[in-house]
Amino acid sequence: MPNGHLVSRASDYIIYSVEAKNIDAVVETFGPSTKLGAIVGGQTSCKAPEITAFEKHLPKDVSIVSCHSLHGPGVDPRGQPLVLIRHRASDADFAFVERALSCLNSKHVYLTRQQHDRITADTQAVTHAAFLSMGAAWSANNQFPWESPRYIGGIENVKINVTLRIYANKWHVYAGLAILNPDAQKQIKQYAESVTELFKLMLAGQREEFSNRIHAAGKAVFKDDRGKDLLLRDEVLDRFSLGTIPEKRLKNNHLSLLAMVDCWWKLGIVPYDHMICSTPLFRMWLGITEYLFRNPALLEECIDTAITDNTFRADDLEFTFAARDWSSRVSLGHFDGYREKFEQIQNYFAPRFPEATRLGNEMIKTILEKTRED
Ligand SMILES: O=C(O)C(=O)C[C@]1(C(=O)O)C=C[C@@H](O)C=C1
């Protein structure tokens, strides 16, 4: 078709696959040409701007049913959550959308747009903030983490593969859901605060306060009955390394993971409550934090390393700067500022994207198959 007007006039079901920041302008242009009685939806990760644009620009006789597949390209959609938002539709129109999307064989999850945005802020936005900060810190230190024995094997592989997976994508996927979702800003800010406060305690060598805070956070998030079976295991994760596994694993204080649990605790978020809407990245992120917090010896080693081992300070300093910088760029709401930082780091890591994406897809597939069996 030469343009969107002709598509809109001829179609019974239209899905706008448009960046969140442009959705209003695009629906304003083509929405009025929608066929009488058609069904319209969108696929963005943040529903507030999308539904607002539909309400504003679509004719009143048009049904609105939006959707959101909670995974990226390269993931098998079978069994993955697919959120359906019945905003304005008859039973027959909604049934039509469900039938059309049933070819994906995903698990349909029914939410309002508000529920959707709240949950995705908890699951996606803060997860991305952590991995984006890791990439920013490695690049600021002029480091390729797979070349350092410190970042190889086990949960370090997840950090690297997921970070590279995110930076290999388009910046607007992450910018849109962080900047346009008001709940997301609050959580990214808390994550940056948790990182900063923990880092200050580490610098001051305040072992008791640091340790008490980590244990209190861990207790709140990983209550006895939750996550009994570790989602992830070393043997599985070791297979997905971009570098050679060293004979003796080097200790890491895992500031990024400690801060995540601290952030969930401060915000009263129980990540397990959101499994129904979890993305592969969120499951891996929760998987590695759970791995750390459900292993008392490893957690103690991590606390000890945080207080006594100075060799990590440069990495942790850059990580703290990075978490704060991402948070302020999101709070300022400037897409250009977000894009500039994202693309600069993207260029730095770009030569390794093909291999990292292949490994990342394999890793996700293996882990998803494993968690499905369980
Ligand atoms: O790469 C993946 O598999 C993802 O999970 C991608 C991801 C995410 O990063 O959370 C990105 C955007 C979509 O809204 C859903 C999922």
pLDDT band at 366 (very low <50, low <70, confident <90, very high): confident
pLDDT band at 228 (very low <50, low <70, confident <90, very high): low
pLDDT band at 325 (very low <50, low <70, confident <90, very high): very high
pTM for this model (two decimals)? 0.92
Q: What's the average model confidence in pLDDT over 294-301?
A: 92
Give per-residue pLDDT as tens, 116-139.
999 999 999 999 999 999 999 999
Half-sphere exposure of 59 (CA within 13 A, CB side): 13
Asked casually if ipTM beats, i.e. exceeds, 0.85, the reply is: yes
Q: What's the average model confidence in pLDDT over 142-165?
A: 86
Domain layout of the chain by residue ranges: 4-111, 117-373
**Distance separating alpha carbons of residues 181 and 129, to the nearest angstrom:** 14
**Distance separating alpha carbons of residues 144 and 148, to the nearest angstrom:** 7
Task: Give the relative orientation of helices 113-120 and 182-204 as an angle to the nearest 10 degrees.
Answer: 20
Q: What's the average model confidence in pLDDT over 188-212?
A: 97
Determine how β-strand 107-110 pairs with β-strand 39-42. Answer: unpaired
**Distance separating alpha carbons of residues 261 and 267, to the nearest angstrom:** 10
Could you tell me if 38 and 9 are in contact, meaning their C-beta atoms sit under 8 angstroms apart?
Answer: no
Query: Mutation test of ligand 1: which of 278, 281, 366 has the most ligand atoms closer than 8 Å to its C-beta?
Result: 281
Give the burial class of 91: count Cβ atoms within 10 A of its Cβ; 0-12 exposed, 13-18 middle, 19 or more buried.
exposed
Residues paired with 66 in a beta bridge: 85
Mean pLDDT value across the chain: 92
> What is 49-103 written as a DSSP string?
HHHHHHHHHS-TTSEEEEEEESS-TTS--TTSEEEEEEEE--HHHHHHHHHHHGG
pLDDT at 373: 45
pLDDT at 238: 75
pLDDT at 241: 76
Atom 3 in ligand 1: residue holding the nearest Cα: 72
pLDDT at 370: 66
Q: What's the average model confidence in pLDDT over 126-155?
A: 90
**Distance separating alpha carbons of residues 372 and 280, to the nearest angstrom:** 12
pLDDT at 225: 62
> Which of these, 115, 96, 123, lies nearest to 48 by C-alpha position?
115
Q: Is 44 in the pocket of ligand 1 (CB under 6 A)?
A: no
> Which of these, 177, 265, 287, lies nearest to 216 by C-alpha position?
265
CATH fold of 4-111 reads: Rossmann fold (3.40.50)
pLDDT at 374: 43
**Distance separating alpha carbons of residues 346 and 13, to the nearest angstrom:** 36
Give per-residue pLDDT as tens, 65-115.
999 999 988 889 999 999 999 999 999 999 999 999 999 999 999 999 999
Could you tell me if 55 and 68 are in contact, meaning their C-beta atoms sit under 8 angstroms apart?
Answer: no
pLDDT at 372: 55
Give per-residue pLDDT as tens, 155-177.
888 899 999 999 999 999 999 99
**Distance separating alpha carbons of residues 114 and 94, to the nearest angstrom:** 19
Give per-residue pLDDT as tens, 258-288.
999 999 999 999 998 888 889 989 988 998 8
Q: Is 75 in the pocket of ligand 1 (CB under 6 A)?
A: yes
Could you tell me if 250 and 312 are in contact, meaning their C-beta atoms sit under 8 angstroms apart?
Answer: no
Query: Mutation test of ligand 1: which of 70, 122, 158 has the most ligand atoms closer than 8 Å to its C-beta?
Result: 70
Q: Is 77 in the pocket of ligand 1 (CB under 6 A)?
A: no
* CA 372 centroid distance within chain: 20
Q: What's the average model confidence in pLDDT over 319-332?
A: 97
Q: How far is the CA of 279 from the centre of ligand 1 (A)?
A: 6
Atom 10 in ligand 1: residue holding the nearest Cα: 124
Q: Give the whole-number percent of the chain exceeding pLDDT 90.
A: 74
Least reliable range by pLDDT among 183-187, 232-236, 311-315: 232-236
Give the CA dihedral 251, 255, 258, 263, nearest 10 degrees: -170
Q: What is the DSSP letter of 354?
A: H
Assess whether pLDDT exceeds 50 at residue 57: yes
